[in-house]
Structure 1
Amino acid sequence: MEIFLEAKSTFYKALEEIINNAYDKGTISQKEIYDILTRYNCNFPVIEDRLFAKNAQYQKNIYVLKQQDNKTYSLRIDSKIEPYVTNLEIMWLKFIMSSRYAELFLDKNTIEKIKKLKSSYVPSIDTNLIVPKNYSKILKRESAKDLSPKLKMITKSILEKRLLRYTYTTRQGETLKDVVGIPVKIQYSLKDDMFYVIFYSIEHRNFAKCIIQNLEDVRYEEGSFNREDVLKEYELYLRNAKAKQPIIIEVMNTRNALERAFCLFSSFEKSARFLKEKNKHEMKIYYYEFEEAEIISRILYLGRDVVVTQPQHIRESIISRVKNALKMYCDNEIV
């Protein structure tokens, strides 16, 4: 029955949560059931009648609940639904094990369990067919083994609300020693295959984005702070830094430009629509003012397949950079 196939039915997930909640607590209220059905968009009469065994055709009812009183139900079975994975999920789990980052986020026991998963049909995937090409040309990729202790320490600091003291080397080569900060958020850039952390500086009372592999001598620092206050300040900082208007680009559907654009701007809030009269896609990219240089860099990476239509200062900045690049190449008699 498709109603019990997780991949095809949201009702399966709703029913699973209802059964497991009722099993864990012994009973479940009618309000809790309705809340779960509503959350999964299953709150319509046909489903409700089947679940509460009120359908006129008894064979269509689902007899998993029995009524205790007007507002409370219990299970007819003394069991919960154990989690399981579909063939497609097994294929995906086995594939991500080929990533060098798997050990950063999963412990050894979990990795071993995934490797032992079996399925009736899991086609093999040649991971060599997927060749990453967006790695940073400025920084060499740090090995996952070296990156792991830094990432885990930052994660633990966020969870346990602890200060960190660290030394950081900027992209320009400047070294900042013994900086004390509060890690706020970890980010991953698909464009250059880098992990970043947002730090709040205790000394300067501002936020900075650091490349995790450029952090050295990371250690815990004694001190207390209110993380909720820092997060509120971070949200205020982001609101004030948001650009007043989005960058609007038109993308030609050539040389996989559209796919590349979505990939490059995957970490940004955006919207897109197809311009039938131009046979192009229009993409609006919402960003923060401190991200402007990074946005321009990514637009230039897309080359001639993209045209910036708004705002004007971004257009002028890109035109200026292209002119300077052409002048430099011409002066050096490369073109």
Structure 2
Amino acid sequence: MNPFEKIFNYQILSRLDESDALALTSQERTWLRTALAHSSSVVAFTPGTLEKLNRILQNKPGINHRDFIVEKAKNAERQVYHPLLRSLRRMIMQDKGMLLTSRIKHGGTKANQPGLPVKLEYSMVKREWYLLWYSTRGRSFMATKLQSIVSVEETLLPPERVEELRARVAAHLEKRKEQAVIEVVRTYNAELSRILYAFSCFDKSVSFEEEENRYLIHVTYLADESEFLLSKIRFLGLRVKIVEGDGLRKRMLESAEKALARYGSSDDIAIRKPAP
């Protein structure tokens, strides 16, 4: 039996991440085999990569979901893979500049905007890809939907110019960073791995206070990710509580008050606001 099949341990996953190693479960291989059968895989991978993956997984069956899943009617599905992803990812990896032409919200286009592509992000809420880039003309950090991009042209930038622009981006992102400390309620210490997995998409560190037998999760996040972080905290319910992070505590208090106002009764105990 593959020893990695049933391992779900934070320490082991951390070590694998540090060594750039990846352990795939049989379920993940089955999912990948199913994904390769989708029509989007032809444009998502280069022919060589697609051929290699199909060869490695040729003896692995896919998921015949049509036998047990009945899908309800819904709106037209947006394409999860975008044709520009590969070229933009290559520009980012090779430190290339770009000239971007994009559609604007109320009609028309902005042509030949010079800048440096920094990162590609997928919004799980809006189901859309975004390009995060630095505009050298406006000297600002931008987020543009890939769906709104008309064309993008690769340009060459001197290495010292790329280093300067990346330093500006890093300084901008540093200003947007916020921190919070989340305590694991002692009763649920045994579920630490599951709790940490819920915060896997955030930069974090864990400390243990031996005298009080409690774990503290120190989370670093961008200001516009606060609602997403709150959704993870709400999902964990009684297992965790925010001990540092005034903004998060205030939003949790507001949502609790609204929930009580809608579903509570006059006999409910009033929520005491935290001390400033």
TM-score range, shorter chain: 0.5 to 0.7
Q: Confirm whether residue 216 of structure 1 aligns to residue 152 of structure 2.
A: no
Query: Which runs of 5 or more residues in structure 2 are unaligned?
Result: 5-18, 66-74, 266-276
State the alpha-carbon separation in 1 of the partners of residues 107 and 191 from structure 2.
38
State the alpha-carbon separation in 1 of the partners of residues 26 and 230 from structure 2.
39
Residues 184, 215 of structure 2: 8 Å contact kept: yes
- Cα deviation for residue 241 of structure 1 reads 2.9
Counterpart selection for 2:89 from 140, 155, 164: 155
Report the equivalent of 1:56.
Answer: none
Q: Based on CA coordinates, which of the two structures has the bigger radius of gyration?
A: 1
Kindly report which structure 2 residues correspond to 1:91-170, keeping only aligned pairs within 5 A, or say none.
95-99=31-35, 103=42, 105-117=44-56, 126=63, 142-144=78-80, 147-158=81-92, 159=94, 160-167=96-103
Larger mean Cα displacement after TM superposition, 233-242 or 223-232: 223-232
State the alpha-carbon separation in 1 of the partners of residues 171 and 57 from structure 2.
48
Q: Confirm whether residue 247 of structure 1 aligns to residue 180 of structure 2.
A: yes
The residue type paired with residue 285 of structure 1 is V
For the aligned residue pairs, the C-alpha RMSD in angstroms reads 4.5
State the alpha-carbon separation in 2 of the partners of residues 318 and 204 from structure 1.
36
Q: Cα gap change, 1:140/1:306 in structure 2, threshold over 3 Å: closer, same or farther?
A: farther
- Cα deviation for residue 276 of structure 1 reads 7.4
Normalised to the residue count of structure 1, the TM-score between the two structures is: 0.51
Residues 248, 282 of structure 1: 8 Å contact kept: yes
Q: Deviations over 1:117-147 (max 9, x none)?
A: 379xx7757585xxxxxxxxxx986224xx3
- Cα deviation for residue 270 of structure 1 reads 0.6
Report the equivalent of 1:305.
Answer: 239
- Cα deviation for residue 231 of structure 1 reads 1.0
Residues 157, 163 of structure 1: 8 Å contact kept: no
Counterpart selection for 2:196 from 257, 262, 266: 262
Q: Confirm whether residue 235 of structure 1 aligns to residue 170 of structure 2.
A: yes
Normalised to the residue count of structure 2, the TM-score between the two structures is: 0.59
Q: Confirm whether residue 316 of structure 1 aligns to residue 250 of structure 2.
A: yes
Q: Cα gap change, 1:301/1:211 in structure 2, threshold over 3 Å: closer, same or farther?
A: farther
Number of equivalenced pairs? 224
Q: Cα gap change, 1:228/1:306 in structure 2, threshold over 3 Å: closer, same or farther?
A: same
State the alpha-carbon separation in 1 of the partners of residues 50 and 237 from structure 2.
40
Residues 189, 267 of structure 1: 8 Å contact kept: no
- Cα deviation for residue 111 of structure 1 reads 1.7
Q: Deviations over 1:186-233 (max 9, x none)?
A: 235678876443122344322134454xx3243125876533321111
State the alpha-carbon separation in 1 of the partners of residues 221 and 171 from structure 2.
15
The residue type paired with residue 176 of structure 2 is A
Q: Cα gap change, 1:260/1:89 in structure 2, threshold over 3 Å: closer, same or farther?
A: closer
Residues 257, 302 of structure 1: 8 Å contact kept: no
